[in-house]
């Protein structure tokens, strides 16, 4: 095989970076040294060839998900389908909406199968699969902007919480959004579930037909986009406070629905500097914590 | 093809109809996703893009930030550590923080989870990210033309992006960007400032208007266009200096020479250079304020006419000739500091100057002034400060990196280009953007600029300052990797081309 994934420890010596094609993973495990080493080796093994598995079924992964039947074969592909299936009856969604979270979950699973770990995460470009042993906790920070005027909000997930997946979707990402949210961050029981739900909720933050929102056909930007000719958001101009509130409310209604259905644990919806939190998760606000990071 | 020609190609690149290839989408075979990529777009990975129908590697700036944050290096899972400890200086193997160092200018970074730990936070979800909020460009515009008063606001698309600062010899200076315009004003001001900085840094043309002054199109490595007139050359010196340089060549060919200059207008017969050649007094009367003999300040107001003044008729700066000294038939050359404007006069019986065809010998001297004027250029220096976390990515003890840079043990470069590190605290550096690979700059919507920075030092010094020694990766291990792309660094491609 000529194409090998890039596998490297980051400069802190603790985190492992895995990259292949469009997949970038950063992972870290906490535990006994030999266990961490075994987990990293397992992650590297599982990651090698994973993209080829997915690509073998790419045409199927790019089609609208069937709300009942799963035609896919691969374990990651089937996980992607399972994550989007609950939404497929009501709207257009393809398994690709859950690819990042599903890959993160798969690699975390390989690590946990190889060795006992106190704590671990696999971060796939913002979609994160978590493992928390007893007494362990994990702090997630959401930044509205990364400079001295930025406000950071933190959410702590501890081992007693059901959430083990975190995902963010919005119009700034690599993938396209049908909505106008800057970012929707979702906590769910699994990373794949969080990924799919974040996509759906970000799509629901919208102002259809608003003149300040510039949209393009997805396939005019990426000819093989799974979204085909659907209009995706390119630019969002100035919005009034009432318009921002209305768009966020639309997303919040959607988020509450899936919270009630048990598919998500919490969501933070962000648009033009405003944030709405859905769910019971405690959120703390900090100012300027990352100032140093921002000006570096 | 050099990098610079790739960059110059972007004017055509944006008008995709130029070549057949540029209208075609291409299939990327870098990984099994096999994306179809439209001209000007990147594939799903944001690592490969279609540039004029060719597949080029474009490491996303987000990866750049990740590597920058960790000291511009990714370290191997299994380090072999056979580096001999010498400073890496071979041009063909210098590893830049731009990753692949490629040519795609309009990349818009994705939101990203910063995986660094800060104040007990394991992970940070961001909508926007930034590297250099404290950054800007210093623009040197080689022209005597009046661009606007010192301290005047400089605008792009109507938004304040900087100001006119103290001028330099033969050049007007602008200071643009900085944290005040990037994040201290309205959102629009920040966005437009960021766009202007990025375009200037990526050697693209930007139109700037100066309050109470001119409109100037600035592009690094190109002549400025002032009020729609392309500037050709910068002045050889001030009016007085020009007299000094050319007095001997004028001696015996003309009775009087006035070199018109907004700063110091020179008069040959009164000037020390003329006195040394025993040039006789001519009875000329200059307007303006006399400084020392033959040197006059403020002969007119600043402007875009002769020698950076506002005059179009050079006689406007002369008073009547003194009949005690002047005589009919006296010859006078009036010329601007760049030789772009020149007139020849002969005094009539009433001692009034009458414009006359210029003798060939004097025409030659005017051409000599032109020849000695360097081409007028805009030069853009990017200036920024490396903050604490960036330094922490390089070493456990960030201040030691700063000290090491000050002690010249560590060489700082930006996209492989040499930088000047400002003395004093921190690591504040300046770099000539024309020396950097094309498309080296990106932005994040914070707004802030994303720029590469590398630190190069001896392995032993790196160890001494608390470097991450276990993760040093031998250069040879990069050679066969798809991550690197050789840049003809020593050749300085397209420098002022």
Same domain, A199 and A187: yes
Whether residues A258 and A143 fall in one domain: yes
Q: Are residues A157 and A289 in the same domain?
A: yes
Q: Kindly tell me the sign of the dihedral angle through the C-alpha atoms of B337, B341, B344, B350.
A: negative
| Chain A contact set for B33 (CB, 8 A) | 21-22, 51, 55, 58
DSSP β-bridge partners for residue B443 = B449
Closest-CA residue of chain A to B444: A146
What DSSP designation does B91 have? G
CA distance B428 to B447: 19
What residues 60-119 of chain A have any CB closer than 8 A to a CB of chain B? none
Residue A270: what are its φ and ψ, rounded to 5°? -130, 130
Give the residue from A101, A134, A167 where a domain finishes.
Answer: A134
- Read off the tokens for A259: 């919270």
Is the separation of the CB atoms in B255 and B362 below 8 Å?
no
Ranked by mean pLDDT, which of A96-110, B16-30, B47-61 comes out on top? A96-110
Would the CB atoms of A121 and B128 count as touching at under 8 Å? Answer: no
Q: Which residues contact B200 (CB under 8 A, 6 or more apart)?
A: B137, B139, B176, B206, B218, B219, B220, B380, B433
Residues of B in contact with A55 (CB under 8 A): 31-34
Among residues B128, B121, B119, which one has the least CA distance to residue A157? B121
Smallest CA-to-CA distance from B47 within B485, B483, B486 is with B483
Number of Cβ pairs closer than 8 Å across A and B? 206
Q: How large is the average pLDDT for residues B236-249?
A: 89
Query: Which positions in chain B touch A26 (Cβ < 8 Å)?
Result: 113, 115
What pLDDT, on a 0 to 100 scale, did the predictor assign at position A149? Answer: 46
Touching check for A49 and chain B: CB below 8 Å? no
Q: What is the pLDDT of residue B447?
A: 75
Q: Which of A166-180, B2-16, B50-64, B402-416 has the largest mean confidence?
A: A166-180
Q: Inform me whether the C-beta atom of residue A217 falls under 8 Å from chain B C-beta atoms.
A: no
Residues of A in contact with B69 (CB under 8 A): 296
Please tell me the least confidently modeled range out of B78-92, B186-200, B355-369, B408-422: B78-92
Predicted interface score ipTM higher than 0.90? no
Cis peptide before B447 (omega within 30 of 0): yes
Q: Which residue out of B45, B73, B126 would a mutagenesis test of the A interface target, given it has the greatest number of A Cβ atoms within 10 Å?
A: B126
What average pLDDT does chain A have?
Answer: 87
Question: A78 with A5, same domain?
Answer: yes
Which domain covers residue A232, as residue numbers? 135-296
Which run of H or of E encompasses A183? strand A183-188
Q: Which of B43, B115, B134 sits opposite A123 (nearest CB)?
A: B115
Would residue B59 be called left, alpha or beta, if left means φ above 0 and alpha means ψ between -120 and 50 degrees?
beta
Query: In chain A, whose CA is at the least distance from the CA of B113?
Result: A126
Do B44 and A121 lie within an 8 Å CB cutoff? no
A144 vs A141: CA distance, rounded Å:
10
Residue B23 scores a pLDDT above 70: no
Q: How far apart are CA B197 and CA B203, in angstroms?
A: 10
Q: What is the pLDDT of residue B97?
A: 34
**Which residues of chain A lie closer than 8 angstroms to B483, CB-CB?**
6
Same domain, A97 and A179: no
pLDDT tens digits for B351-400?
999 999 999 999 999 999 888 888 889 999 999 887 655 555 555 666 77
Instruction: Give the length of chain B.
Output: 497
Any chain B CB within 8 A of the CB of A293? yes
Contact by Cβ (8 Å): B137, B176 = yes
* Final residue before a domain boundary, out of A110, A134, A158: A134
Q: How far apart are CA A164 and CA A191, in angstroms?
A: 7
Of B399, B128, B110, B443, nearest to A290 by C-alpha is: B128
Residue B127: which of A15, A140, A270 has the nearest Cβ?
Answer: A270
Neighbours of B11 (CB within 10 A): 11
Beta carbons of A51 and A74 less than 8 angstroms apart? no
Q: Are residues A112 and A208 in the same domain?
A: no
Tell me: do A3 and A56 sit in the same domain.
Answer: yes
Indicate yes or no: CB of A296 within 8 angstroms of CB of B69.
yes
Contact call for B125 and A141, based on CB within 8 A: yes
CB of A75 closer than 8 Å to CB of A106: yes
Backbone φ and ψ of B448, nearest 5°: -155, 160
CB under 8 Å, gap of 24 or more: what pairs does B90-95 form?
Answer: B91/B487, B91/B488, B91/B489, B91/B490, B91/B491, B92/B486, B92/B488, B92/B489, B93/B475, B93/B478, B93/B479, B93/B486, B94/B413, B94/B416, B94/B454, B94/B456, B94/B487, B94/B489, B95/B454, B95/B475, B95/B478, B95/B484
% of chain A with per-residue pLDDT over 70: 89
The per-residue DSSP string of B221-247 comes to TS--EETTEE--B--SS-HHHHHHHHH
Residue of A210 and B424 predicted with greater confidence: A210
Round the average pLDDT of chain B to a whole number and report it.
73
CB B421 within 8 A of CB B428: yes
Residue holding tokens 């340089």? B245
Q: Residue B294: is its pLDDT beyond 70?
A: yes
**A60-65 average pLDDT score:** 94
- B7 pLDDT higher than 90: no
Q: Is residue A22 located within the same domain as residue A125? A: yes
Boundary-marking domain end, from A134, A158, A190: A134
User: Which residue is it, tokens 């602008």?
Assistant: B174
The verdict on A163 and A260 lying in the same domain is yes
Same domain, A198 and A96: no
Please, are residues A125 and A166 in contact by the beta-carbon 8 Å criterion?
A: no
Burial B219-236 (b: 16+ CB within 10 A, else e): bbbbbbbbeeeebebbbb
Q: Say if residues B479 and B95 touch (Cβ distance below 8 Å).
A: no
d(CA A266, CA B100): 39
Structural domain count, chain A: 2
Do A10 and A102 belong together in one domain?
yes
Residues contacting B178, CB < 8 A, separation 6+: B134, B135, B136, B162
Looking at beta carbons, which residues of chain B come within 8 Å of A220? 38
pTM of the model: 0.48
Q: Does A149 touch chain B (CB under 8 A)?
A: yes
Q: Which residues on A lie below 8 Å from B129 (Cβ)? A: 146
Q: Is B481 exposed, middle or buried (0-12, 13-18, 19+ CB in 10 A)?
A: exposed
Best mean pLDDT range from A7-16, B1-10, B55-64, B109-118: A7-16
| Same-domain pairing of A104 and A226 | no
List A residues 165-194 in contact with B (Cβ-Cβ < 8 A).
166, 168, 170, 172-174, 182-183, 185
Higher pLDDT, B96 or B160: B160
Which residue has tokens 């910068």?
Answer: B234
3-state secondary structure of A204: helix
Residue pair B75/B462 in contact by the 8 Å Cβ criterion: no
The beta-carbon neighbor of A295 closest among B32, B387, B468 is: B387
Label residue B51 by pLDDT band (50, 70, 90).
Answer: confident
Task: Report the residue from B32, B76, B115 with minimal CB separation from A26.
Answer: B115
Residue B78 has pLDDT above 50, yes or no: no
Q: Which residue has the higher pLDDT, B206 or B126?
A: B206
Number of other residues whose CB lies within 10 A of the CB of residue A156: 16
Inter-residue contact A257 to B350 (CB < 8 Å): no
Q: Per the structure block, which two tokens stand in for B313?
A: 């008729």
């Amino acid at each position: 095989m000529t194409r090998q994934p890039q596998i490297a420890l980051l400069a802190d010596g603790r985190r492992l970076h895995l990259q292949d094609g469009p997949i970038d993973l950063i992972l870290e495990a906490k535990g006994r040294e030999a266990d961490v080493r075994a987990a990293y080796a397992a992650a590297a093994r599982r990651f090698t060839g994973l993209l080829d598995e997915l690509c073998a079924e790419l045409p199927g992964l790019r089609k609208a998900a069937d709300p009942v039947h799963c035609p896919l074969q691969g374990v990651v592909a089937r996980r992607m389908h399972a994550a989007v299936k609950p939404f497929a009856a009501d709207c257009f969604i393809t398994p690709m909406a859950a690819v990042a979270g599903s890959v993160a979950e798969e690699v975390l699973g390989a690590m946990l199968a190889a060795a006992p770990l106190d704590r671990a995460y696999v971060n796939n470009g913002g979609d994160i699969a978590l493992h928390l042993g007893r007494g362990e906790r994990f702090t997630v920070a959401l930044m509205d902007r990364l400079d001295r005027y930025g406000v950071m909000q933190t959410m702590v997930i501890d081992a007693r919480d059901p959430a083990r997946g975190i995902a963010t979707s919005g119009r700034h990402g690599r993938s396209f959004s049908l909505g106008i949210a800057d970012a929707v961050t979702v906590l769910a029981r699994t990373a794949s579930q969080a990924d799919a739900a974040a996509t759906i909720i970000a799509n629901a933050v919208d102002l259809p037909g608003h003149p300040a929102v510039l949209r393009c056909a997805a396939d005019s930007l990426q000819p093989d986009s799974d979204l085909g000719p659907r209009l995706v958001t390119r630019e969002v101009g100035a919005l009034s406070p009432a318009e921002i509130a209305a768009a966020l409310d639309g997303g919040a209604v959607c988020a509450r629905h899936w919270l009630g259905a048990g598919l998500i644990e919490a969501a933070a919806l962000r648009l033009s500097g405003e944030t709405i939190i859905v769910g019971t998760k405690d959120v703390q606000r900090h100012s300027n914590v990352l100032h140093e990071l921002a000006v570096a | 093809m050099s990098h610079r020609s790739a960059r110059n190609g972007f004017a055509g690149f944006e008008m995709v109809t130029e070549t057949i290839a540029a209208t075609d989408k291409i299939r990327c075979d870098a990984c099994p996703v096999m994306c179809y990529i439209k001209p000007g777009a990147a594939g799903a990975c944001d690592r490969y893009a279609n540039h004029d129908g060719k597949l080029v590697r474009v490491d996303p700036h987000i990866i750049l930030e990740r590597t920058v944050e960790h000291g511009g290096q990714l370290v191997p899972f299994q380090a072999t550590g056979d580096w001999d400890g010498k400073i890496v200086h071979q041009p063909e193997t210098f590893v830049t923080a731009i990753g692949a160092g490629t040519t795609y200018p309009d990349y818009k970074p994705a939101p990203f989870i910063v995986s660094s730990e800060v104040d007990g936070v394991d992970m940070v979800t961001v909508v926007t990210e930034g590297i250099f909020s404290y950054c800007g460009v210093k623009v040197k515009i080689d022209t005597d033309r009046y661009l606007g008063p010192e301290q005047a606001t400089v605008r792009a698309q109507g938004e304040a992006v900087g100001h006119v600062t103290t001028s330099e010899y033969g050049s007007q200076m602008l200071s643009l960007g900085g944290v005040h315009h990037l994040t201290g004003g309205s959102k629009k001001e920040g966005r437009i400032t960021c766009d202007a900085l990025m375009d200037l840094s990526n050697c693209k043309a930007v139109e700037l208007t100066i309050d109470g002054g001119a409109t100037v199109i600035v592009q690094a490595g190109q002549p400025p266009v002032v009020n729609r007139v392309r500037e050709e050359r910068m002045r050889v010196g001030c009016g007085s200096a020009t007299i000094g340089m050319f007095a001997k060549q004028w001696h015996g060919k003309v009775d009087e020479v006035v070199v018109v200059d907004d700063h110091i207008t020179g008069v040959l017969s009164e000037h020390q250079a003329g006195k040394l050649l025993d040039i006789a007094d001519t009875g000329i009367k200059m307007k303006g304020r006399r400084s020392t003999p033959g040197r006059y300040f403020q002969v007119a107001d600043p402007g875009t006419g002769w020698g950076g003044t506002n005059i179009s008729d050079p006689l406007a700066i002369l008073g009547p000739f003194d009949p005690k000294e002047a005589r009919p038939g006296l010859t006078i050359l009036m010329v601007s500091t760049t030789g772009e404007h020149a007139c020849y006069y002969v005094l009539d019986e009433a001692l009034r100057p009458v414009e006359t065809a210029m003798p060939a010998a004097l025409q030659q001297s005017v051409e000599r002034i032109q020849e000695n004027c360097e081409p007028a250029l805009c030069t853009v220096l990017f200036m920024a400060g490396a903050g604490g976390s960036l330094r922490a990515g390089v070493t456990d003890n960030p201040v030691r990196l700063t000290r090491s840079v000050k002690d010249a043990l560590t060489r700082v470069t930006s996209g492989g280009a040499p930088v000047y590190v400002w003395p004093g605290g921190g690591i504040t550096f300046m770099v000539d953007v024309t020396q950097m690979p094309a498309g080296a700059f990106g932005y994040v919507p914070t707004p802030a600029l994303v720029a590469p920075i590398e630190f190069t030092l001896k392995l032993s010094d790196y160890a001494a300052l608390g470097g991450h020694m276990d993760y040093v990766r031998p250069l040879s291990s990069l050679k066969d990797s798809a991550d690197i792309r050789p840049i003809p660094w020593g050749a300085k491609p397209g420098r002022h081309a």
